[in-house]
Structure 1
Amino acid sequence: MEKTYNPQTIEPHWYDIWEKQGYFAPSGSGQPYCIMIPPPNVTGTLHMGHAFQDTLMDLLTRYHRMRGDNTLWQAGTDHAGIATQMVVERQIGAQGMTRHSVGRDAFVDKIWQWKAQSGGHIKRQLCRLGASLDWEHERFTMDEGLSHAVREVFVRLYREGLIYRGQRLVNWDPVFHTALSDLEVISQEEDGKMWHLRYPLADGSDSLVVATTRPETMLGDTAVAVNPNDPRYQHLIGKEIELPFTGRMIPIIADDYVDPEFGSGCVKITPAHDFNDYAVGQRHQLPMINIFTEDARINDNAPKAYRGMDRYEARKRIVTDFESCGLLVEVKPHKLMVPRGDRSHAVIEPLLTDQWYVKVEPLAKMAIEAVETGKIRFVPENWSKTYFDWMNNIEDWCISRQIWWGHRIPAWYDKAGNVYVGYDETSIREQYQLDSSVVLTQDDDVLDTWFSSALWPFSTLGWPENTERLNTFYPTSVLVTGFDIIFFWVARMIMFGLKFMGDVPFREVYIHGLIRDSEGQKMSKSKGNVLDPLDLIDGVSLEVLVAKRTTGLMQPEMAPKIERSTREQFPQGIPAFGTDALRFTFAALASTGRDIRFDLARIEGYRNFCNKLWNATRYVLMNTEDQDTGLDQNAAIELSDADRWIIALTQEVARDVATHIQQYRFDLMANVLYEFVWNEYCDWYLELSKPVLQSEEFRIAAKRGTRRTLVRTLETILRLLHPTMPFLTEELWHKVAPLAGVSGETVSLQPYPQGQADLIDSQAQQEIEWLKQFVLGVRRIRSEMDIAPGKLLTVLLQNGSAEDAQRLARHDVLISRLARLERIEWLDASVNAPESALALVGEMRVLIPLAGLIDKEAELKRLNKELEKIRKDFAKSNEKLQNPNFISRAPAEIIATEQQRLADMSASIQQLEAQVLKIQAI
């Protein structure tokens, strides 16, 4: 073995072998176990959320593969309609062209060309992460098979009356000229204004004041609403207002939607440009007047003075006109949530348009029952409430998008506007008996990306064909996803799975939290706190990291601040931690919480864990290679208490790890493995093995037993760790397995340890726990008294039982070696022991006489100096916490940190004072 662990030389080598050997394909035997990858965008790069989620899916996949299950992790990517179209539009834009100048067919061809060139990027990143997907059967939402499935679903739903075309309000992107789903709209708080405008009554008797953050939309007002119980306006309900600049008369209506306490208690109602107003308009049968073009300019439904103006230009003009007429009451600063397109970053307009919709209520009923009856289980269970809240208030789903990249809607129109839905034009002509004289034109819209994604669990397996893979792996076993797409993807898969397969698409839904930075902030480019998982794996220089964080910012003025903070946080850049350290970090962070804070200190710690395992393996190999490890069945084997203890502990760990994985508590799994490998195996058992292997006092059979236990336990550890840390464990397993008498091509196909109850030796566990307490007691005294680690000590024992004496006789060699003892003496209980430091092992007193061990004056001087420093810091911290200004202004987490610091210093002061008294008494 190399002396130094270097993940960059190990990882690419092993992934290439795994894939070439076909280890990721289903075995064809055992219980089916299937996970569908949430299809990443074909345009995408692997961000921290992907890496976290894919690590957990790969962990589950590798675990079940090792369990002997017929395991499939289905690979695939999403065509990502708007995102992909935007990339190619930018490319041709750099050449002075637009999609319209190129033409639809040629533009779509260019997208396919781009996909062929760069579509494998996400796969390369997943491979770097160690993801063991079945790449041989990778799917793409726009491939022919999935496109056929999409057409089949659309046609069937349309023929059942569950798909229809209608005019409703949608999120409209004025840059891309398309409707957007709520998931594609990012709302953020921004500084704005609230304009208070006066609307005169038509009869001139009075006026009302309305408050609005969008004055331009008043051109589409069709009512003013007041609360029916507001006494100020009872006498005005039913009267009309003359809407300024339009000449239109609009009614004053009463509706519970209006909050009397907000503003003036009067609300302008613009049903065609506000979702709440749309609902009011529906209830009161108000006219819907659309005043915007598709690029958010004022259209011909508005007065001539404003036509053709950009919405913000029109806003300025309208405010000026209100002011000149004496109808502008006041303007106030106002913070508001502004919806922006996640790709264009343009402010979204609610717009009344003709779109295609799925009537979801009949589908939702079955989907609700599936969770209520336990056919689908949410983990953690509390997410089912979120699911029910949405499903019980579900609205029809807008599935059409006004872009060119995607599944074109299978609907054709004749010149009279009649619509024909079918698989293609030929089948439609046959079905409706249309001859060639009837000119048909296909709908220009494409389907929402989430429509094809909703079919993912069964379309990827070959539906609508009755394939063997579909029969084997549907329903799938578990969906691993974030809580932010329960509505957009999870619910729709359930509805479509039940509708077209007659069964749920998955048995369990594991909902994980979202990755945040170390301070709990959402990772975003604008904040400059984004971490690229590949940078954590392979390392990145400071210069490259700064460039990545400051290039292409929505707000270029933020670049200096982001660059400065990056240089402060990563003065040397980010070191290469390797994939296994990153994966173990993700597993350790996968708690049941909503937010997951990622701290580089954690990954650095788990990089050290990888290094610890590497060095432990080197020690085992140095002590077992070319040695007798008990493979000969006829050789005598003696197992020490330490051997039986680590064997027993291994069984318990295997049992606990399996339980935690099955319960999706990857954080508990990681903690159990870390504690066992680092503390029990590497720190304790390897140290316990040294006297046996290096001393002549132990028989050959005992040495053989320890060597066998060393390699067999390590081989088991590598199998336990493999789903989480695949590369390092594969590398080490090939070196350790032959010594343990295990053969095979790869650890990834070895059986996962289950834990054998008959190998749990409670007597050996009690023996070694006693030994550990003895050694730890001595070590703690060394540390507290600042006694040199290499100094041989005399230990006095008092108040021990007969069992203590027997255990000491059995383990005195090990104890003396581990605790660095020169001699051990028993004292009668009646004898007054010299001034000593004390440790307890049960009721037995472990005494270390201090006379001659330390320089009393020097140690008192050191302790008092340390005490003085901590007392000063304590006083400063206490003064800060007593300051009302600090308590009122500081964030809660800062105050909590300071309080914890104060408590820690108080405990340190007490310990140091006790130590001073002890030394003074010598």
Structure 2
Amino acid sequence: MLPSRYDPTEVEPRLLSSWEKADLWQCDPESGKPPFSIVIPPPNITGRLHLGHNLVYTLQDLVIRYKRMAGYEACWFPGTDHAGIATQNVVERALAKEGLARWDLGREAFEARVWEWKERYGNEIVDQLKVLGCSCDWSRQRFTLDQGLSRAVTLAFVRLHRDGLIYRGNYMINWCPRCQTALSDIEVEHEEIDGHLYHVRYPVEGGGYLTVATTRPETMLGDTGIAVNPSDDRYQGYIGRTAILPILGRRLPIVGAEEVDPAFGTGVLKITPAHDLLDREIGKRYDLPATDIFNPDGTVNENGGPFAGMDRFQAREAILERLGAEGLLEKTVPYRHAVGHCQRCRTRVEPRISTQWFVRMQPLAEPAIEAVRSGRIQFVPDRWAKLYFDWLEGIRDWCISRQLWWGHRIPAWYGPDGETFIGLDEAEARQLAAKHYGRDVLLRQDEDVLDTWFSAALWPFSVMGWPEKTAELKLFYPTSLLVTAFDILFFWVARMAMMGLHFMGDVPFREALITPFIVDEHGQKMSRSRGNMIDALEVKDSHGMDALRFTMTQSSSKGREMRVSMRQLDEARNFQNKLWNMARFVLTYTADLPPEVALDGRELTWEDRWILSRLSRLAEKVREELDRYNFHLASEALYHVTWHELCDWYLELAKLRLQGEDPEAKMTCQLVLREALDTVVRLLHPFMPFLTEEIWSHMGQREALARAEYPRSRAEWVDPEAEGHLNRLMELIREVRAVRAEVGVPAATEVELVLASGAGAAELATVFAPAIGRLARAASVRHEPSSRPPAGAARGVAGEIAFFLPLSGVVEWEAVRVRIQRDLAQVDEALGKLDARLSNPQFRGRAAADIVAKAEAEASALRVRRSRLERHLAR
């Protein structure tokens, strides 16, 4: 017997333990079943489960459970990412509390501290995934810095280098002064800030001056030239002359460059080749020196003269003060512009020339583009393909070296003269060096590590044991589906496509499902400062993980955004409780039903045939929508049929036989209830695994629900005739209830119901009279096709059936009329507001589709109610 209430805080940990002990999720490459595989987007070991994680992992788990129940050898490969910058930052902050920096420990000791941290805290995110219910094959869990994956990363680097696709060079890169490392272009997020445009006068030899407009006056310390557009009449006479750098007095050649925008600022561009990409290109053309003015930590170096040692922003203020004192700061203008920030620590990045390692991307991008164009990789929704193409078609080489200590160290060693040797390990590098020099020499390994996303790009095949030719790779690669967030489309999705095609000769995944961005119910980004954050782990305790999972699936449309609110979570918890109470009802009333008794061959009522037909169609609908990744449509169908058809109608109709005197009728009803519960629980399991598994365990089942067969449509159950009868019955009862409520019939009062006309009225009055009497509080149900409503009757229409309720002496019609007029005025007011919104093109153009649909549904319901109220007034 199920307890009176469902307690997820007791059920969930118990089931997690039993699932783990039973090894339910372990896959078998030798099973002979058709394969279906997913590799998890490996969460950072510094991570904590948030709603974005919850969405991505819930959808993966839903699909993998569905496929497992549908007969596939479904394998979900789990693992975690070492998260270079993020993890190093966490450990460095911990060291700072001890008054230490990583330099105080040295590289080896610092790495040991990070490994200690990883062993202590690195599995917290994995434990949280398990709490969510993720049915990964945990025996295959990997870590991007474990021995096997590290070997795969090194081999990939060596092969790419030998293929001419990795090179080392001195180029302009993005530099984070806080993390003190290079960043790739997509690790820089550009944010609009309110800054200033400073107009600075640069004296010109021979007299006069040129005014330069700049947002970063501190970089003038590195100026080595001035550029104007040669077609700009204002400045043509200055080309070939020399300007003087304020404060430092450096002579600056004035050159002509077509790239200068005459409309920006003053039309004069200061050239700082070491700290701006455009300046670098112009500087190369005119052989202007590149003077780096910053230390790695963002302070001004010795090239900054009197400002050396200052923080870059302190230097800015000091320079502006000096310029003002010398009369060279012409004016300061407010200016809003985009500034690059480090994605990890939010520090403003500095463009800087640096020697780094790069991947040559264009040769890798071309096959990745073709794979999507040819359909070998399909995006869901397909609109993401355009963004993918746009990025790959304009792709720049990828800076993969990072000035960190935590990560995969670059397998490059340098000889006494700086010659580079690339090898799988130091021994191979020494062999190459000995061959080059003709003797053994002392080698020095590159200090840098690889970008975290380099190892992540190899994940779909490295996690399966590459470069070894494993059974997993043979069966499960390419993977069937990737589920990931849109914000790593470039970081990860595109790079996996490139690396998979290069190393495996095939795509890494057949389909890529890109999840939407989660916002609150008002369309606002969730943040702690706004107070609209929903903490996934707190919700687990208050609502249960299944309620959170169901909210995610219900909300996960294929739009760019999905709205999530506590109201939806409350509704999902209510649905969870409804299922529990429905199961208690069924198990209570079927407790004496012998397990060997079958439904086949028994005489079914219209309502039996109806619910079996609806369940058959539901199974077909849910499978169809899951196969299309329309999780929201599958969820809505399950919610509607389970709550609004099975619970609201069939259970109520079943009570007539369950509480009746006919044992055969009762047994038939019991068998249908057992079938219905079995079907619903299995259908819902991928969505709500904990609740359904707990119910299943009380249904006399020995096998875990997770390994049971997923329901299919049963043609012998589909019954349009029964559906037609029950639709008429439900519509009649709804309308009778509405009329009773509108005219004020007391809830406990039974009144006569007369069906005056319409197709099916006679059958309703005979076959369904007991049901109508129970559910519509009808003292009697008569079919009188030629009768007219007597005085004091309330009239209604249900589809084609006209009916009336004789209410003489039951209600006071004058009082009813006053109340209905008041209600009608309220309906008209609400309808007017809705119609005004719906007729506003801005509302229809800007509001989310679900908001518009909700407003349309509300307006339609109000019009129906208005018609009923007017009918009462016209009696």
Q: How high is the TM-score relative to the length of structure 2? A: 0.93
Change (3 A) 1:831 1:190: closer
Q: How does 1:672-711 map to 2 (within 5 A)?
A: 672-696=637-661, 699-711=662-674
**Quick one: distance in 2 between partners of 1:488 and 1:900?**
35
The residue aligned with 2:202 is 199
| Of 292, 295, 298, the match for 1:296 | 298
Could you list the per-position Cα deviations for residues 608-647 of structure 1 after superposition, in whole angstroms to 9, with x for gaps in the alignment? 0000001111111121101357x33599622111111111
Q: Which residue of 2 aligns with 1:17?
A: 18
Deviation string 1:138-182 (CA, Å, 9 cap, x unpaired) is: 000000000000110011111121111111122211122111234
Report the Cα distance in structure 2 between the residues aligned to 1:620 and 1:498, rounded to whole angstroms.
53
| Cα RMSD, aligned residues only | 3.2
Please report how far the alpha carbon of residue 673 of structure 1 lies from its aligned counterpart in structure 2 after TM superposition.
0.7
Q: Partner residue of 2:169?
A: 166
Aligned twin of 1:643:
608
Question: CA 1:237/1:268 → structure 2, altered by over 3 Å: closer, same or farther?
Answer: same
Q: In structure 2, what is the Cα distance between the partners aligned to 1:479 and 1:908? A: 41
Aligned-pair CA distance for 1:833: 4.4
1:820, distance to aligned residue in structure 2 (A)? 1.5
Partner of residue 189, structure 1: 192
User: Contact between 2:413 and 2:420, CA under 8 Å: does it hold in 1?
Assistant: yes
Q: Secondary structure at the match of 1:484?
A: helix
Mark the runs of 5 or more structure 1 residues left unpaired by the alignment. 539-575, 739-743, 882-889
Q: Which amino acid in structure 2 is aligned with residue 386 of structure 1?
A: L
Q: Structure 2 residue aligned with 1:823, among 759, 773, 780?
A: 780
Give the superposition deviation at 1:772: 1.2
Alignment-derived partner of residue 590 in structure 1: 556
**1:715 to 1:909, Cα distance in 2 relative to 1, 3 A:** closer
1:687-723 Cα shifts (integer Å, max 9, x gaps): 1111122223xx4333222111111111111111000
Answer whether contact 1:410 1:443 (CA < 8 A) is retained.
yes
Classify the secondary structure of the residue corresponding to 1:498. Answer: helix
In structure 2, the partner of 1:608 is 574
The 5 A counterparts of 1:330-729 are 330-433=331-434, 438-538=441-541, 576-628=542-594, 631-632=596-597, 637-696=602-661, 699-729=662-692
What CA deviation, in whole Å up to 9, does each residue of 1:713-771 have, x standing for no partner? 11111111000100000001122355xxxxx4211001111212232111111111121
Determine if the alignment matches structure 1 residue 793 to structure 2 residue 796.
Answer: no
Q: 1:138 to 1:268 in 2, by over 3 A?
A: same
Q: Distance in 1 between matches of 2:836 and 2:658?
A: 58
Whether the aligned pair in 2 keeps the contact of 1:877 and 1:898 (CA below 8 Å) is no
Alpha-carbon distance in structure 2 between the residues aligned to 1:218 and 1:45: 43
Structure 1 residues 404 and 469 mapped into 2: Cα distance closer, same or farther (>3 Å)?
A: same
Q: Is contact 2:480-2:509 (8 Å) kept? A: yes
Q: How does 1:804-883 map to 2 (within 5 A)?
A: 804-829=761-786, 831=788, 833-863=790-820
Q: Distance in 2 between matches of 1:828 and 1:868?
A: 34
> Are the structure 2 counterparts of residues 483 and 913 from structure 1 closer, same or farther at C-alpha, using a change threshold of 3 Å?
closer
Q: Tell me if structure 1 keeps the 8 A contact 2:433–2:440.
A: no
Residues 453-495 of structure 1 show CA distances to partners (whole Å, capped at 9, x for unaligned) of: 0000000000011111111111001111111111111111111
Question: In 1, Cα distance between the equivalents of 2:631 and 2:287?
Answer: 54
The amino acid across from 2:563 in the alignment is R
Contact 1:636 1:701 (C-alpha < 8 Å) held by counterparts: no
State the 1:286 CA deviation. Answer: 4.6
C-alpha separation between the residues in 2 aligned to 1:537 and 1:249?
A: 67
- Aligned-residue offset at 1:914: 6.9
Work out which of the residue numbers 212, 215, 230 in structure 2 matches 1:213: 215
Q: Which residue of 2 aligns with 1:242?
A: 244
Q: 2:7 is matched with which residue?
A: 6
Summarize the Cα distance change of 1:227–1:702 in structure 2 as closer, same or farther, 3 Å threshold.
farther
Task: Please say if residues 155 and 422 of structure 1, whose CA atoms lie closer than 8 Å, have aligned partners that are also in contact.
Answer: yes
Conserved 8 A contact 1:715-1:737: no
Decide whether aligned partners of structure 1 residues 784 and 256 sit closer, same or farther in structure 2, where only a CA change above 3 A counts: farther
Aligned residues: 868
The 5 Å alignment of 1:9-408 reads 9-27=10-28, 28-204=31-207, 206-227=208-229, 229-281=231-283, 286-302=288-304, 304-408=305-409
Unmatched segments (≥5 aa) in structure 2 = none
CA contact (8 A) 1:414 1:438 kept: yes
Residue 516 of structure 1 contacts residue 523 of structure 1 at CA under 8 Å; is this kept in 2? yes
Alpha carbons 1:580, 1:725 under 8 Å: kept: yes
Call closer, same or farther: CA 1:872–1:775 in 2, change over 3 Å.
closer
CA drift at 1:436: 7.5
TM-superposed CA distance for 1:63, in Å, is: 0.5
The structure-2 alpha-carbon separation of the partners of 1:253 and 1:371, relative to structure 1 and needing over 3 Å to count, comes to: farther
Q: Residue 583 of structure 2 aligns to a residue in which SS?
A: helix
Equivalent position amino acid for 2:147 in 1: E
Q: Residue 445 of structure 1 aligns to which amino acid in structure 2? A: D
Q: CA deviation at 1:523?
A: 2.7
SS in 1 for 2:139: strand
Q: Contact (CA 8 Å) 1:870, 1:905: kept in 2 or not?
A: no
Going from structure 1 to structure 2, the CA distance change for 1:318 and 1:822 (only over 3 Å counts) comes to: same
Aligned to 1:741: none
Secondary structure of the 2:558 match is coil
Query: Is the 1:195–1:212 Cα contact (8 Å) retained in structure 2?
Result: yes
C-alpha distance in structure 1 between counterparts of 2:271 and 2:807, whole Å: 86
8 A Cα contact 1:480 1:510, kept in partner: yes
Alpha-carbon shift at residue 306 of structure 1 (Å): 2.5
Q: Deviations over 1:216-260 (max 9, x none)?
A: 111222343444554433444454433323444434445454443
Cα shift at 1:811: 1.9
Q: Measure how far apart 1:346 and its partner are.
A: 2.5
Does the 8 A contact of 1:400 with 1:448 survive in 2? yes
Aligned to 1:116, what secondary structure does the other structure show?
Answer: helix
Structure 2 distance, partners of 1:706, 1:129, is 36
In structure 2, the partner of 1:733 is 696
Comparing 720-729 with 759-768, greater Cα deviation is found at 759-768
> Helix, strand or coil: the match of 1:345?
coil
Letter in 1 for 2:561: D
Report the residue type matching 1:675 in the other structure: H
CA contact (8 A) 1:34 1:71 kept: yes
Aligned-residue offset at 1:187: 3.5
Aligned residue type for 1:381: D
Decide whether the 8 Å contact of 1:190 with 1:337 is kept in 2: yes
AA partner of residue 648 (structure 1): S
Give the Cα–Cα distance (whole angstroms) in 1 for the partners of residues 607 and 833 of structure 2: 49
Residue 336 and residue 528 in structure 1: after superposition, are their counterparts in 2 closer, same or farther (change >3 A)?
farther
Give distance in 1, aligned partners of 2:698 and 2:421: 66
Shift of 1:910: 8.0
Q: Distance in 1 between matches of 2:183 and 2:269?
A: 27
**Contact 1:298–1:314, Cα closer than 8 Å, also in 2:** yes
Q: Is the 8 A contact 2:421 2:432 kept in 1?
A: no
Paired with 2:623 and 2:112, the residues of 1 have a C-alpha distance of 49
Contact 1:835–1:921 (CA under 8 A) maintained in structure 2: no
Which one-letter code corresponds to 1:314 in the other structure?
Answer: A
Please report how far the alpha carbon of residue 906 of structure 1 lies from its aligned counterpart in structure 2 after TM superposition. Answer: 9.4
Farther-moved stretch of structure 1 (686-695 vs 216-225) = 216-225
Determine helix, strand or coil for the equivalent of 1:107.
Answer: helix
Deviation at 1:578, TM superposition (A): 0.5
**Equivalent residue, structure 1, for 2:742:** 784
